Structure 1
Amino acid sequence: MAFAGLKKQINKANQYVTEKMGGAEGTKLDLDFMDMERKTDVTVELVEELQVKTKEFLQPNPTARAKMAAVKGISKLSGQAKSNTYPQPEGVLGDCMLTYGKKLGDDSPFGLALIEMGESLKQMADVKYSLDDNIKQNFLEPLHHLQTKDLKEVMHHRKKLQGRRLDFDCKRRRQAKGSNIPDDEIRMAEEKFAESLQLAQMGMFNLLENDNFQVEQISQLATFAEGLLDYHSQCTEVLKHLTETLLEKKDEAANRPKVEFVPKTLQDLHIETVQDGLNGTNNHTNLFNHSSNHHNSYGSGYIYRKPAPKTIPIKQPNYQHQQLSDPFDPWSYPQASPLPSPMKSPARTPMTRQPCCTALYDFDPENPGELGFKENEVIMLMNKIDENWFEGSVNGRTGYFPVNYVRVDVPLP
């Protein structure tokens, strides 16, 4: 038997090479058979590609699929059943939103909204897992069964038919050339060829033209479509509920009472400043410098007038002494610094300073009636509304501003 089988393989190889390279013609089958072969080849390719693309549709991340395949292979080699679930993108995003929503806390409207959306995305991920299980059970598994059983059997009969045809044609060709081949051997090869031809035809017919087969395949596609419809319907309901909840939370956040925030100073935090370590003369000097700068910048608030000249002869020495000693006379020679002296001069009577304050920070008004200003601007004080608010004016504008944004230079009476 072993020698007979080897001889048959040699005959088939001889006939195949002769047909491909020597131009010998083999037994031709009819067009119907060739059309069934073409459709069978398309079906084989279709089933293989459809399984691959369906898995990519359900699990689109190639890195995650490769990792799952690697874990599955290692589990088989080690003999340990270790399951690795595909990370749905909805679930991954939902976990991220839940984590940071909880970190923001319950007092944050944005954090609560993140938690709501994260939980909804987790629900959508669970629905996606249900879709995966449904498609694998009702669509992919029947395709795998078709590939490993029916298609495999049909392809086996076709391969066997091809081998028996080559063996039959080889023996006929050699007999025609005068080789001593018995008729019984040729008749046996012909019978085997006919048997394989019938099996291959019936197998392809049952695969392609059988109504039960067609109904079964269409039913599996319908199950696939129903699973997708159910998945999207459930996701639609989840998203509708989520949208309504988020809109409610948006309105709640918009209607929250505004909280006034007062930034703490270094003194509030009991932090020692640079001036705390200096003596009081430094503070007096700073106040004097600030008053001088204020007089230079806002001269309209501090008006000094030259006293009326006395009706005495021009040549009297007292007039000359008065003229030279008055620092506010533009025709006199200055005796000292042109800056006004903080000490009261007996030669003039100072005007009463208006109540004012200096801005420590920029203040942007948020409500009607509030007065905005910039850092270092001087504001005229008009009234103290309460312990937290002043009323004042600057640059022709009048309004309210917080007490802790300014430093009072001249208090209200």
Structure 2
Amino acid sequence: MNINLPNFNVKNLVKEAGSTLSRVVQLTEEKLGTTERTEYDNEFQNLAERADITKAWTEKIVRDTETVLIPNPQNRIEDFIFEKIEKTKPQRLSNLEHLALDMIEAGGDFGQDLPYGQALIKVGQAEQKLGQCERDFIASSGICFTQPLRKFLDGEMKTITKERGILETKRLDLDACKNRVKKARSMLGQQTAERELRVAQAEFDRQAEITKVLLEGISTSQASHLRHLHAFVETQVRYYKHCIDTMNNLQRDLAKLRPAKPRLRINSEDVDGPPNTINHSIVHPLAKSNDFNTHDFNEFDDNEDLDNFHTIDINNDEVNVDENHENTSSTLRNQSNNTNPFATTDILEQYDIEFDTSAITSV
């Protein structure tokens, strides 16, 4: 049985192993401070520091934006996996859409013809619209902002990191060659070391130039990031505008379903009262009398207004109505003589009405 083994170049393997060993030795001596190292110029160092800052903050901005768009970390991990395996992301309902479906279903069970059921259905439909707006906002934000920034990190920034790593390797080789030149004792050994030093110096200079060009390109990348940021803000503006329009429409629809408030008439002025708070036990006793004639009050000429307006006795003392009309009139006159102008406080507080009691006078 013949087995074809790959052809290894033993010479290159030994050479690479020797280079790796010399780099480790050089790096260790630098950490210990027993040898010198080649320093980069100030311009290159500034570019490198700027690249590190750009990378760190861009990664954080992308993470934070994705956290805002998709708060559930499990969903973010799931989406990331589907992107890596190039599969379609699952269509999951958002929290708003779950709430919308429950409201619509509850409204149907409570009764579509009842006020509460109608209101639940309308609110649920509005929540559905908000959920769709949110879905569109997430998709648009990914296209115009997070995806370009992540592409920058996975493409240009990874290339810069790789080239900087190669440059550091070339620097270690260069410094190792410098140390070998210093340590060479024989003329032959010194010539060999100097030749390796020249080669290492050329490779280092070439790699430093390549890395510097890439670092300088970060300024152009940030100009693109600025355009992406503007697009993200515009997407947010559209999203919140759609949300506001949806909620304003919902508010108008719910206002149409709200029952009308009862109305009070105090000192010939119409005042809105809270819903369902009319206490018919405090209706003026004349309204309970069989001899009461609505035409005695010109404010109640309209039957519809009569149904919506109530005359309220603002006195605390209960008025007793006798069967005899004359006794009733006498009782009312006696009662009016003892009218307390401050007895309206309880009624005003019940209806949450600010009223100047000084305007009430006794007859």
TM-score strictly above 0.5: yes
Query: SS of 1:143's equivalent?
Result: helix
Map residues 9-408 of structure 1 onto 2, 5 A cutoff.
9-66=20-77, 68-69=78-79, 72=82, 81=87, 83-178=89-184, 180=189, 182=192, 183-208=194-219, 210=220, 213-250=221-258, 253-254=259-260, 367-368=280-281
* Cα distance in 2 for residues equivalent to 1:178 and 1:231: 71
| Higher mean C-alpha deviation, range 152-161 or range 140-149 | 140-149
Q: Which runs of 5+ in 2 are unaligned?
A: 1-11, 263-277, 284-289, 291-317, 323-363
Answer yes or no: is the 8 Å Cα contact 1:64–1:87 preserved in 2: no
After TM superposition, give the deviation of residue 367 of structure 1 in Å. 3.0
Structure 2 residue identity aligned to 1:215 = A
Partner of 2:303: none
Deviation, 1:22, is: 3.8
Q: Is the 8 A contact 1:64 1:86 kept in 2?
A: no
Cα drift, residue 69 of structure 1? 4.8
- Aligned-residue offset at 1:46: 1.9
CA distance in 2, matches of 1:228, 1:93: 23
Deviations 1:225-277 (A, max 9, x none): 00000001111111111111111211xx3479xxxxxxxxxxxxxxxxxxxxx
| Partner residue, 2:360 | none
Equivalent residues of 1:71, 1:84 under 8 A apart: no
Which one-letter code corresponds to 1:51 in the other structure? V
C-alpha separation in 1, matches of 2:22 and 2:93: 56
| Residues 1:195 and 1:53: Cα distance change in structure 2 (over 3 Å) | same
Higher strand share: 1
Relative to structure 1, is the Cα distance of residues 242 and 44 closer, same or farther in structure 2, using a 3 angstrom cutoff? Answer: same
Letter in 2 for 1:135: S
Cα distance between partner residues in 2 of 1:100 and 1:58: 29
Asked if the contact 1:127–1:231 (Cα under 8 Å) also holds between the matched residues in 2, the reply is yes
- 2:342 corresponds in structure 1 to none
- Which amino acid is the alignment partner of residue 175 of structure 2? D
Does the 8 Å CA contact 1:102/1:111 hold for their aligned counterparts?
Answer: yes
RMSD: 3.1
**Following TM superposition, by how much is the alpha carbon of 1:366 offset from its aligned partner in structure 2, in angstroms?**
5.4
Conservation of the 8 A alpha-carbon contact between 1:131 and 1:228: yes
Query: Are residues 397 and 11 of structure 1, via their aligned partners in 2, closer, same or farther at CA, if it must alter by over 3 Å?
Result: farther
| Change in 2 beyond 3 A, CA 1:159/1:57 | same
Aligned partners of 2:229, 2:199: CA distance in 1, in Å?
A: 45
- Rounded to whole Å, the distance in 2 between the matches of 1:71 and 1:27 is 43
TM-score by length of 2: 0.65
Structure 1, residues 70-118: CA drift from partner, whole Å, max 9, x if none?
9849x95xx9x56323542322222222121111112320111111111
In 2, distance between residues paired with 1:245 and 1:152? 54
What is the alpha-carbon distance in structure 2 between the residues aligned to residue 158 and residue 100 of structure 1?
Answer: 62
CA distance in 2, matches of 1:24, 1:152: 31
Q: 1:288-330 deviations in whole A, cap 9, x for unaligned?
A: xxxxxxxxxxxxxxxxxxxxxxxxxxxxxxxxxxxxxxxxxxx
Structure 2: which amino acid aligns with 1:162? Answer: E
CA distance change for structure 1 residues 150 and 63 in 2, over 3 Å: closer, same or farther? closer
For residues 129 and 217 of structure 1, what CA distance do their matches in structure 2 show?
23
| 2:280 counterpart SS class | coil
One-letter amino acid of the structure 2 residue matched with residue 39 of structure 1: R
1:140 to partner: Cα distance: 1.7
Letter in 2 for 1:102: G
In structure 1, distance between residues paired with 2:82 and 2:21: 43
Aligned CA distance change for structure 1 residues 170 and 70 (closer, same or farther; 3 Å) = closer
Please report the TM-score for the alignment, with normalisation by the length of structure 1.
0.57
Larger Rg: 1
| Greater fraction helix | 2
SS at match of 1:106: coil
Letter in 2 for 1:200: T
Query: What is aligned with 2:344?
Result: none
Kept in 1, the 8 Å contact 2:177–2:197? The answer is yes
Moved more, 91-100 or 57-66: 57-66
Amino acid at match of 1:146: F
Work out the number of aligned pairs and report it.
Answer: 261
- Give the distance between the partners of 2:68 and 2:91, measured in 1 at CA: 16
* Deviation, structure 1 residue 368: 4.5
- The one-letter amino acid of 2:126's match is S
Distance 1:46 1:366, change over 3 A: same
Letter of the aligned partner of 1:23 in structure 2?
T
Contact 1:138/1:223 (<8 A) preserved: yes
* Structure with higher RCO (Cα < 8 A, 6+ apart): 2
